[in-house]
Amino acid sequence: MPELPDVEVLRSYLDKKGLHQPVHQVEVFAEEVLEGISAREVHSQVTGRSFSSTARHGKYLFAELNGNGWVVFHFGMTGQLHWLQPGTRTPDHTRVLFIFSNRQSLAFVLRRKLGRFGIIPDITGFVATKGLGPDALSKELDLHTLQQRLKKTSGTIKGALTNQGLIAGIGNIYSDEILFQARIHPKNRANKLDREAMRLIFRKIGEVLQTAIDREADPAHMPATYLLPHRQKGGVCPVCGTKLKQLRISGRATFYCSNCQQ
């Protein structure tokens, strides 16, 4: 699930439902998912504090601890946040559980343990340490920046779009969607694209990601001309009806329409 639009939906959810409520207790069920911090430190730094604001960079979600740093969530391939009413059973694969003073709780759920949880002093430093590029939906990523970065990339455009060091937030699903909407073949070399193609990709990055957020990142609610709901074996292009082609780029399953995307 968790590429930029999914994480943005979770952020907005946390922002609406999870702020300004003191954490009465925090439980760590899987210490392996903690990054750069022990369960003991999580307890001491979170208990008694509340989340005062939220932020996001690429696929990372941040919640501020009343000016005492930020908790960081990374969702891996299967991560979710579940808001639980008092008395509700804790979901399977809950790795970290926040119990608030009002008895509600927030479960950080990872089926596979590919996600991470941590606490950091500031976001800018974290983004620099991770080597993340500008967030795909931020003002930081303007057309000029994108063109500069693509020109320096010799690999495929699909590989470039999913490279978090170039642009943060786009993953396997939405890179396929962006390239489909731009009618560009995923195997094109990033640095060989002309200015017009780069301009088109820039426009589609914003358009596709924002559309997905507006529709709560739910594949069932995407526009009829979107690839996403058809992105499976035997799937058919929603525009021309051609059977979709599948190949592997940078180790990731890639779907495209050989008729629409030259």
Q: What residues line the site for DNA (CB under 7 A)?
A: 1-3, 6, 32, 58-59, 74, 76-77, 92-93, 111-114, 130-131, 152-156, 159-160, 162-164, 171-173, 190, 217, 219, 248, 250-253
CB of 1 to DNA, least distance (A): 4
The vertex-32 CA angle with 14 and 79, nearest 5°, equals 35
CB of 164 to DNA, least distance (A): 4
Dihedral, CA of residue 134, residue 140, residue 141 and residue 143, to nearest 10: -150
Helix axes 4-17, 195-214, angle to 10 degrees: 40
Tell me which of 2, 5, 134, 238 is the catalytic residue. 2
Nearer residue to DNA within complex by CB, 87 or 89: 89
CB of 66 to DNA, least distance (A): 27
CB of 177 to DNA, least distance (A): 10
Q: Which long-range contacts (CB under 8 A, 24 or more apart) does 107-112 make?
A: 107/81, 107/82, 108/73, 108/79, 108/81, 109/79, 109/80, 109/81, 109/82, 110/30, 110/33, 110/75, 110/76, 110/78, 110/79, 110/80, 111/78, 112/76, 112/77, 112/78
Nearer residue to DNA within complex by CB, 100 or 180: 180
Nearer residue to DNA within complex by CB, 84 or 217: 217
Tell me which of 5, 8, 11, 59 is the catalytic residue. 59
Nearer residue to DNA within complex by CB, 106 or 170: 170
Nearer residue to DNA within complex by CB, 152 or 243: 152
User: Is 5 assigned a catalytic role?
Assistant: no
User: Is 2 assigned a catalytic role?
Assistant: yes
Q: Which of 68, 254, 110 is nearest to 176 (CA)?
A: 254
CB of 149 to DNA, least distance (A): 10
Whether residue 76 contacts residue 110, with contact meaning beta carbons closer than 8 Å, is answered with: yes
Q: In 77-105, which positions are buried (b, 16+ CB within 10 angstroms) versus exposed (e)?
A: eebbbeebeeeeeeeebbbbbbbbeeebb
DSSP 33: G
User: Is 245 assigned a catalytic role?
Assistant: no
Tokens encoding 204: 């589609």
User: Is 134 assigned a catalytic role?
Assistant: no
Tell me which of 3, 8, 64, 177 is the catalytic residue. 3
Show which residues are catalytic: 2-3, 59, 252
